[in-house]
């Protein structure tokens, strides 16, 4: 009977098994095949017609509560009723991140191989905290992260064959806080060892004293997750200033000044986030000068947050950056942003896995097993904050195998080309717009001029149209966006243009505020992004820009 229900040999969902009215797996086998086939067809239709939908939902906050009953159903419902509600109730509240007119924040990839990876991961569900919980979950993760490290040309020290290795985390923020905890505990451990502390209680008291002096650092342009991480780690957080003249990159000189200022005050810097591709403008910190400073601070854990722009390291012309990163303790890239993998797949690498396991490994009796005890296997629970973990490596494996290295390179190059095209269009109308920083990693950040200016010649892209930052020798001169007395007027104009585009809801763009300047960010880099949409959004910006300037002049 149970078998029949699972396989769907003639029994409906209301047939009883051991007194249960719902089949053990929710649907019979045949019902599942029908439901899944329909769902896959609907998903394909969703993607192939996504352009027909508005990119942003036009509902009001709380819309769903009005559509749904206030209680879960007492008795199970037929699957078809549930499936119908995807279009009726869910779709109206969806922001379509895969829409080609989505150009906001950074992209979050979704692809068919990624979706299939998620399906199989769900099918093989196992919160595989220890190797023995499902050995393949661990082993595939180690293999694909070693593959990715090679694709990104990371130092061999980040690979599992040495003392390092990679682990998939849920997000770049999670990776940061995980490393921060490991950094904090490494700092405390080294200090206690230096002081020759051995008594357990005395050590614990002293550790608390040491922790109270610790400071985590990021630059003004670091993602907010570093500050949040410091709150979670229970330490101070200080940010280091960046300047427009450095394109908002953190420099070794300002890092050194901050470290000296803190140590003079009796505080202990223990952790620093440096960034390859900041959220505001895709700035790249000055790794070479930071590496020089790092030599004088061996207890400072340096984490490179490459959540978005790390994907560009698939291209040889960016790999000089990978070569400069051999001094960092940890490096993280979100494959779920720009590398075609469905959320979540934040790939964290460390040079010394022991730094993570020393801080995060606690083995109560119920987690002990012969394989863990043998020391021959990896238990990824000791590399992360949660215990359980999903089979995320499958989707990474599917993606890497579907595209291959050359496919990944084409994918990233396509978006960098779109970014450069958009930046060129913006430059072509410098009577209306001003670039705030050089275009980078498919992102363009620009402002609307306070009033029409005579066109001036600014900036350039490299001969092959590549992002100028891939060429260390190229220097892009950006005309200051606004003279000091024009800043407020330019902000007003930029906000007006942004608001009109936002209200129209045809394109989804985001804005930011840097150094008192309100700017518009455009990044078109999901898998369905195409040149024609770049041209369309630019035309719309020009029309709205002209209208706003007409009204204000
Ligand atoms: N770091 C950078 C540079 C980011 O741009 C972002 C988000 O866009 C994050 C970290 C946070 O990413 P996550 O959502 O994976 O925590």
The confidence band for 483, taking pLDDT boundaries of 50, 70 and 90, is: low
- The whole-angstrom separation of Cα 362 and Cα 429 is 60
The token pair at 158 is 């980040």
Whether 308 lines ligand 1, by a CB cut-off of 6 Å, is yes
Whether 384 lines ligand 1, by a CB cut-off of 6 Å, is no
**Is 16 a residue whose pLDDT tops 80?**
no
**Is 459 a residue whose pLDDT tops 60?**
no
Higher pLDDT pick, 465 / 73: 73
The confidence band for 462, taking pLDDT boundaries of 50, 70 and 90, is: very low
* Mean pLDDT, residues 24-48 taken together: 98
Whether 346 lines ligand 1, by a CB cut-off of 6 Å, is yes
**Is 451 a residue whose pLDDT tops 90?**
no
Distance 177 CA to ligand 1 centre (A): 12
Mutate to test the pocket of ligand 1, among 250, 277, 307, 521 (most ligand atoms within 8 A of CB): 307
Closest atom of ligand 1 to 106 CA is: 8
* Mean pLDDT, residues 466-495 taken together: 61
Nearest CA residue ID for atom 9, ligand 1:
172
**Is 6 a residue whose pLDDT tops 70?**
no
Task: Give the tens place of pLDDT for each residue, 489-533.
Answer: 999 999 999 999 999 999 999 999 999 999 999 999 999 999 999
Half-sphere exposure of 188 (CA within 13 A, CB side): 23
The domain locations on the chain are 126-390
- A 10 A CB-CB count for 428 gives 13
What contacts 66, CB < 8 A, 6 or more positions away? Answer: none
Task: Give the tens place of pLDDT for each residue, 358-379.
Answer: 999 988 888 888 888 777 889 9
Whether 223 lines ligand 1, by a CB cut-off of 6 Å, is yes
Whether residue 116 contacts residue 402, with contact meaning beta carbons closer than 8 Å, is answered with: no
- Kindly state the helix (H) or strand (E) to which residue 233 belongs, with its residue range: helix 225-233
The pTM score is: 0.92
- The whole-angstrom separation of Cα 206 and Cα 209 is 5
Closest atom of ligand 1 to 336 CA is: 15
**Radius of gyration of the chain measured on its C-alpha atoms:** 26
Distance 199 CA to ligand 1 centre (A): 41
Distance 369 CA to ligand 1 centre (A): 36
Distance 229 CA to ligand 1 centre (A): 13
For residue 453, what pLDDT is reported?
Answer: 64
The token pair at 302 is 């340096």
**Is 469 a residue whose pLDDT tops 90?**
no
For residue 486, what pLDDT is reported?
Answer: 81
**Is 461 a residue whose pLDDT tops 90?**
no
For residue 485, what pLDDT is reported?
Answer: 58
What contacts 115, CB < 8 A, 6 or more positions away? Answer: 43, 342
**Is 1 a residue whose pLDDT tops 50?**
no
Whether 307 lines ligand 1, by a CB cut-off of 6 Å, is yes
**Is 455 a residue whose pLDDT tops 70?**
no
Task: Give the tens place of pLDDT for each residue, 96-139.
Answer: 999 999 999 999 999 999 999 999 999 999 999 999 999 999 99
Distance 270 CA to ligand 1 centre (A): 21
Whether 490 lines ligand 1, by a CB cut-off of 6 Å, is no
* Mean pLDDT, residues 204-228 taken together: 97
Closest atom of ligand 1 to 175 CA is: 16
Whether residue 300 contacts residue 269, with contact meaning beta carbons closer than 8 Å, is answered with: yes
What residues are paired with 446 via a beta bridge?
435, 520
- Of the candidates 458, 525, 414, 538, the residue with the CA atom closest to the CA atom of residue 102: 525
Whether 305 lines ligand 1, by a CB cut-off of 6 Å, is yes
**Is 9 a residue whose pLDDT tops 50?**
no
Closest atom of ligand 1 to 171 CA is: 15
Residues in the chain, overall count? 553
- The whole-angstrom separation of Cα 187 and Cα 195 is 12
Task: Give the tens place of pLDDT for each residue, 431-445.
Answer: 999 999 999 999 999
Distance 172 CA to ligand 1 centre (A): 5
What residues are paired with 109 via a beta bridge?
none
* Coil, strand or helix at 209: helix
The tokens 């595989």 sit on which residue? 128
Distance 337 CA to ligand 1 centre (A): 9
Looking at domain 126-390, does it have CATH number 3.40.640.10?
A: yes
- The whole-angstrom separation of Cα 324 and Cα 312 is 15
Mean pLDDT of the chain: 91
- Of the candidates 271, 276, 258, the residue with the CA atom closest to the CA atom of residue 329: 271
For residue 114, what pLDDT is reported?
Answer: 98
Whether 172 lines ligand 1, by a CB cut-off of 6 Å, is yes
């Amino acid at each position: 009977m149970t078998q029949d229900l699972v396989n769907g040999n003639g029994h409906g969902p209301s047939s009883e098994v051991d007194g249960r009215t719902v089949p053990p797996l929710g649907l019979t086998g045949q019902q599942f095949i029908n439901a899944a086939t329909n769902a896959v067809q609907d998903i394909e239709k969703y993607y192939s017609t996504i352009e027909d939908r508005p990119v942003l939902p036009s509902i009001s906050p709380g819309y769903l509560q009005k559509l749904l009953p206030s209680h879960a159903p007492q008795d199970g419902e037929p699957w078809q009723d549930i499936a119908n509600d995807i279009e009726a109730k869910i779709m109206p509240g969806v922001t379509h991140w895969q829409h080609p007119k989505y150009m906001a924040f950074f992209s979050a990839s979704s692809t068919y191989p990624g979706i299939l990876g998620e399906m199989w991961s769900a099918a093989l569900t196992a919160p595989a905290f220890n190797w023995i919980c499902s050995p393949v979950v661990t082993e595939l993760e180690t293999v694909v992260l070693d593959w990715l490290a090679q694709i990104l040309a990371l130092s061999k020290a980040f690979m599992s064959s040495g003392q390092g290795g990679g682990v998939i985390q849920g997000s770049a923020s999670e990776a940061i806080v995980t490393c921060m905890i490991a950094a904090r505990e490494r700092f405390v451990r080294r200090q206690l060892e230096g002081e020759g502390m051995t008594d357990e209680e005395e050590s614990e008291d002293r550790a608390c004293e040491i922790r109270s002096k610790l400071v985590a650092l990021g630059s003004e342009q670091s993602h907010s997750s570093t500050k949040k991480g410091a709150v979670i780690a229970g330490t101070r957080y200080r940010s280091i200033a960046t300047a427009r003249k450095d394109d908002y990159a953190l420099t070794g000189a300002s890092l050194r000044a901050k470290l000296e200022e803190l140590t003079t005050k009796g505080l202990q810097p223990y952790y620093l986030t440096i960034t390859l591709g900041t959220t505001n403008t895709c700035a790249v910190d000055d790794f070479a000068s930071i590496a020089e400073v790092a030599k004088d601070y061996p207890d400072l854990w340096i984490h490179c947050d490459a959540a978005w722009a790390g994907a560009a390291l698939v291209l040889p012309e960016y790999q000089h950056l990978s070569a400069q990163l051999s001094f960092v303790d940890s490096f993280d890239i979100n494959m779920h942003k720009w590398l075609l993998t469905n959320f979540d797949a934040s790939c964290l690498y460390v040079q010394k896995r022991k730094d993570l396991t020393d801080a995060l490994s606690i083995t109560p009796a119920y987690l002990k097993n012969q394989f863990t005890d043998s020391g021959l296997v990896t238990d990824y629970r000791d590399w992360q904050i949660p215990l359980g973990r999903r089979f995320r490596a499958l989707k990474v494996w599917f993606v890497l195998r579907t595209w291959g290295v050359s496919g990944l390179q084409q994918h990233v190059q396509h978006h960098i080309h779109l970014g450069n095209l958009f930046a060129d269009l913006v430059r072509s109308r410098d009577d209306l717009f001003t670039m705030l920083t050089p275009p980078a990693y498919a992102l363009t950040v620009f402002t609307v001029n306070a009033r029409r200016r005579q066109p001036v010649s600014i900036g350039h892209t490299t001969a092959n149209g590549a992002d100028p930052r891939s060429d260390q020798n190229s220097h892009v001169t950006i005309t200051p966006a606004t003279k000091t007395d024009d800043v407020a007027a330019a902000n007003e104009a930029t906000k007006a243009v942004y608001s009109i585009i936002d209200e129209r809801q045809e394109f989804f763009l985001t804005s930011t505020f840097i150094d008192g300047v309100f700017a518009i960010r455009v990044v078109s880099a999901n898998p369905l992004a195409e040149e024609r949409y770049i041209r369309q959004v630019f035309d719309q910006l020009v029309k709205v820009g002209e209208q706003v300037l007409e009204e204000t002049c």
